[in-house]
Each structure stands twice: as structure tokens, then as C-alpha cells.
Amino acid sequence: MSIRADNSALESIPLRLLIIAVVAALSLVPAGEALETLKSRDYVSRATAQLERIVSAAQIVAVEGPGSVRTLALEFTGSGSAQFRSLTIGDRVGGANMSAAVLILTNGARIVRWADDPPATLRSAVGAGLQVTAPVSRMRMSCGFENASWFVLVELV
């Protein structure tokens, strides 16, 4: 078996390389967008799990009653287009979000989780919702009693 000389194949190499370069360049944008979508989806999934942890801990504190305390380490860091802007836990008595944890993202989206089964009223020491503006924080929950009603006191530590 011998190797044949084929000069036309040598001449077509630059054209083939150019086609490969163009196809590779055109596929970079969709691949980058797909990666960004995956990052955002991963962030939303992790953030939702953190909100579920907050709500579950509040419900446990509410059910256990006086003396019950929970401390949570929260981390809402991310690198996609959906990132942490703020977190509001609870509201004033009778407020629309008095049993909710509301995460607001930089793209304007909101993720809300409710502590409604069993119900838990959440509030800060000043009687309103706790505003968290740092993506990494530690939070303490304890059971309180005021004006003939139980509530879960939420504070940063």
C-alpha cells in the first residue's frame, strides 16, 4: 500500500479551517447563553432551598413554643443574571407577608415561601419584617409572646 500524492487536498485545507473557525465562532454565543441560563437556574434552585430552610425553622420554633431557638447560616451568593438584591422575612402584625420569606432578585423577580402549615407569624424586634441586604448572613429565630399572641422573632446575629 502506498500513499498517493494529492495536491488538491492540500489546497482545500485553508478553506476547511476557515469553515471550522466560523462554525466555532457562531456556536460560542448560544453556548454562553446556555451557560448563563444554567447558572441562573442553579441559583434559583439553591435560593429556593434556603427559603424552605428559613420557613421550616420558623415553623419548628412556632410549634415548639417558648424557649425554642434556631440559628441559620444563609448564603445567597451567585454568578448568573439572577442574583440577590434583598430578603424580607415577616411583616408587621396583620401585614400581607407576616408569614412569608420574600427573596428579591436583581432582575426584579421575587421568590416567596409561606410558613402557613403550621402557621408562623414572623417579625423583627421592631415589630416589622426583617430586611436582609447582605447575601451572606446568620439569622436567629426564637419564640416570643406579645399582646396575647405567639410570634417568631427573627434577627441577624
pLDDT per residue as tens digits for the range 17-38: 888 888 888 888 888 788 888 8
Query: Domain for residue 104, yes or no?
Result: yes
Query: Domain for residue 57, yes or no?
Result: yes
Cis bond before residue 119 (omega within 30° of 0): no
Distance CA 105, CA 130 (A): 17
Q: Whole-prediction pTM value?
A: 0.78
Query: Domain for residue 1, yes or no?
Result: no
Closest CA to 132 of 54, 58, 42, 43: 54
Distance CA 21, CA 120 (A): 59
Distance CA 142, CA 153 (A): 5
CA distance readout (Å), 27 to 15, 24, 40, 79, 93:
19, 5, 20, 22, 54
pLDDT value of position 137: 95
Query: Domain for residue 152, yes or no?
Result: yes
Query: Domain for residue 28, yes or no?
Result: yes
Range of the structural domain that residue 53 is part of: 7-156
Query: Domain for residue 46, yes or no?
Result: yes
Query: Domain for residue 141, yes or no?
Result: yes
User: Could you give the number of structural domains in the chain?
Assistant: 1
pLDDT value of position 155: 96
pLDDT value of position 55: 96
Residues of the chain with pLDDT under 70: 1-10
Query: Domain for residue 42, yes or no?
Result: yes
Closest CA to 43 of 81, 78, 86: 78
pLDDT value of position 86: 96
